[in-house]
Amino acid sequence: MGKIAVLGTLDTKGIEHQFVADAITRKGHEAILIDVGGLAPPVVEPDFSRDEVAAAGGVNLAVLVEQQDRGALVGAMSQAAAEFLKKLYHKDSIQGVISLGGSGGTAIATAAMRALPLGFPKVMVSTMASGDVQGYVGEKDIVMIPSIVDVAGLNRFSRLIFTRAVGVICGMIESEIVESEERPIIVASMFGNTTECIDSAKIALEKEGYEVLVFHATGTGGRTMESLIESGMVSGVLDVTTTEWADELVGGVLAAGPRRLEAAARTGVPSVVSLGCLDMVNFGSPNSIPERFSQRRFYHHNPQVTLMRTSVEESRELGRVIAEKLNLSVGPVTVLIPLRGLSVIGAVGEAFADPDADQALFQTLRENLRDDIGVLEIDTPVNDPSFSSACVTALLENIKRV
């Protein structure tokens, strides 16, 4: 039997959460009702009150209720609920969490869910689940289920959806995890244009006894990788594909945010960093490209993805930014530069070959990088086997240094 947190605003959606709690009980598990409402009394009796939740986050709930500011209340309870669930998790008092909500309830519940580790069962039934859920899910594994109808009472559709959601959360905690032999983890960043490099490195690192987790550098992938590095579970970082910084700088669709490259630097995890695919910015279909870029060089990767070659000026700024991030490093880090191409299409003779832009990137990086950070220049394209081998060798040497 597992203990499942049923987290919600029990003043406005208490009946619905009680329905879910009862369904969990019928499945043979224990439901723990947690109230994160505030502007009216709860309509069902919680196991943990809103005051207990607020206290966990240092929130003065009485003041917020008196102000009747719903936005401020949602923000405060989002933080408090995150702290409260973390405490329950660390006490092994819950094995899963489920919630129902509209925009406000979804904001509170998913903020709490994002505070829990990857792999911990999390289910959110939401009116917001059919749109862009990045702001709710972030880099965590939250299962979002569209509520179909509003979470406003019980009817034939809501009962169906809520019952199915209970089946999901119960199935998740009942699933037996077959553990393999635990090996130290190395994380790596990859794009289609650096696949050969990472595939080769992965094989070599696995032979050395490591488990290699590869993240697709699509914005979400980079953020998730950074989050995992921060968790303390990672022994080494092979960040060959730093292309997300091109999107962050220029305005592409696969940016990973301004803290990309900071996790390993700040935590001291041994790292190798390269410049893979910094020769491209990602957009959607051709008609999605901003007019200001109409005269640039493009490569149509597929009908949904259009790549734009970074300019000399953009490459120069990327070199400065990459150096700035790596200069934060408190652990061993080595930079590897593939002198003959940053991607498949950036190699000599290919569509994005641009020696001037590449040299602007390399030179600015060298000029701004801390003197004690090693730089290896390899006279090959990024996907050459010798470049991949050099990355592996440098990373293993850095791991030995800690």
What is the rounded average pLDDT of the residues 325-342? 98
β-pairing verdict for 234-239 and 271-273:
parallel
What is the rounded average pLDDT of the residues 355-381? 98
The domain limits of the chain are 3-174, 185-400
Sheet holding 305-309, edge to edge: 280-283, 305-309, 298-302
pLDDT in tens, 55-101: 999 988 888 777 777 888 889 999 999 999 999 999 999 999 999 99
Instruction: Please provide the CATH number assigned to the domain covering 185-400.
Output: 3.40.50.12030
β-pairing verdict for 234-239 and 211-216:
unpaired
Residue 336 confidence (pLDDT)? 98
Confidence of residue 176 (pLDDT cuts 50, 70, 90): confident
Question: Could you tell me the pTM of the whole model?
Answer: 0.80
Confidence of residue 113 (pLDDT cuts 50, 70, 90): very high
Give CA–CA dist 357/195, Å, rounded. Answer: 22
Domain 3-174 fold: Rossmann fold (3.40.50)
Instruction: Name the least confident of 68-82, 137-151, 214-228.
Output: 68-82
The long-range contacts involving 86-93, CB below 8 angstroms and separated by at least 24 positions, are: 86/115, 86/116, 87/56, 88/5, 88/32, 89/116, 89/117, 89/120, 93/3, 93/32
Chain CA centroid to CA 289, Å: 25
In percent, the amount of the chain with pLDDT more than 70 equals 99
pLDDT in tens, 308-319: 999 999 999 999
- Tell me if domain 3-174 and domain 185-400 are identical in fold: yes
pLDDT in tens, 234-286: 999 999 999 999 999 999 999 999 999 999 999 999 999 999 999 999 999 99
